[in-house]
Amino acid sequence: MKITHIRVRNRPVKYLGRYMNRDVATNCRGRVEVKDASNGQLIKNFPELKWATNPEPLKFDVKGTEIIAITNPELMMTAGLKNLGQRWEDLDMALKHEGDEEFYMNTPQNYPFNVKREKTRIDARRCFIDIVIEYDNGISDEKRFYLRNDSTRIMDFELSETPFS
């Protein structure tokens, strides 16, 4: 399995950054649109993705002599939220399993147990990933990334800031 991610931060104050910190952007959520690179048409949109450093939305319980993992609704609600300061944070974008043609957007709901949810499945080979970060007091500028999924191998699954040739 391979997970692609982007790095996000709340950019320091220009020119005064050495003397003044920017306020923390609270409750940041990555909102994504996936578009077909061949025609620009919207494939699917996703209101939130999972922040890599947030805890996995799981809890563990004892059933007889076994320890089992189950989803934790409280953690599920916060897996897509992050307070951003000037430190870089990773936002998980998409995941692909070796041998699969398709890939999946990494939302908090499909993250536990490696679930392959139909709602997060993308079958396109080349995509534009347009992302904005929403937070309590506003929204970031849109940023475009390029994703290629050229085969069933995870080596051919890549996210880039520049278009592929």
Q: Is residue 113 part of a domain?
A: yes
Assigned token pair, 133: 């970060």
pLDDT at 21: 65
Q: Is residue 67 part of a domain?
A: no
pLDDT at 112: 57
In this structure, what CATH number is given to the domain that contains residue 28?
A: 2.60.40
Q: Is residue 65 part of a domain?
A: no
pLDDT at 117: 85
Count how many domains the chain has: 1
Q: Is residue 75 part of a domain?
A: no
pLDDT at 50: 85
Assigned token pair, 56: 């996995």
Could you say which DSSP state residue 12 is in?
Answer: P
CB atoms within 10 A of CB 67: 9
pLDDT at 114: 66
Whole-prediction pTM: 0.82
Tens digit of pLDDT at every position of the chain (165 positions): 888 989 998 877 676 656 666 678 899 999 999 999 999 999 999 998 888 888 777 788 888 888 888 778 777 778 888 888 878 899 999 989 999 999 999 887 765 566 788 899 999 999 999 999 999 989 999 999 999 999 999 999 999 999 987
Q: What share of the chain is helix, strand, coil (3-state, %, to 5)?
A: 10, 45, 45
Q: Is residue 98 part of a domain?
A: yes
Beta bridge partners of 89: 8
Cα-only R_g, the chain: 17
Q: Is residue 148 part of a domain?
A: yes
Range of the domain at 97: 2-11+23-52+81-160
Q: Are 104 and 91 in contact (CB under 8 A)?
A: no
Q: Is residue 57 part of a domain?
A: no
Q: Is residue 101 part of a domain?
A: yes
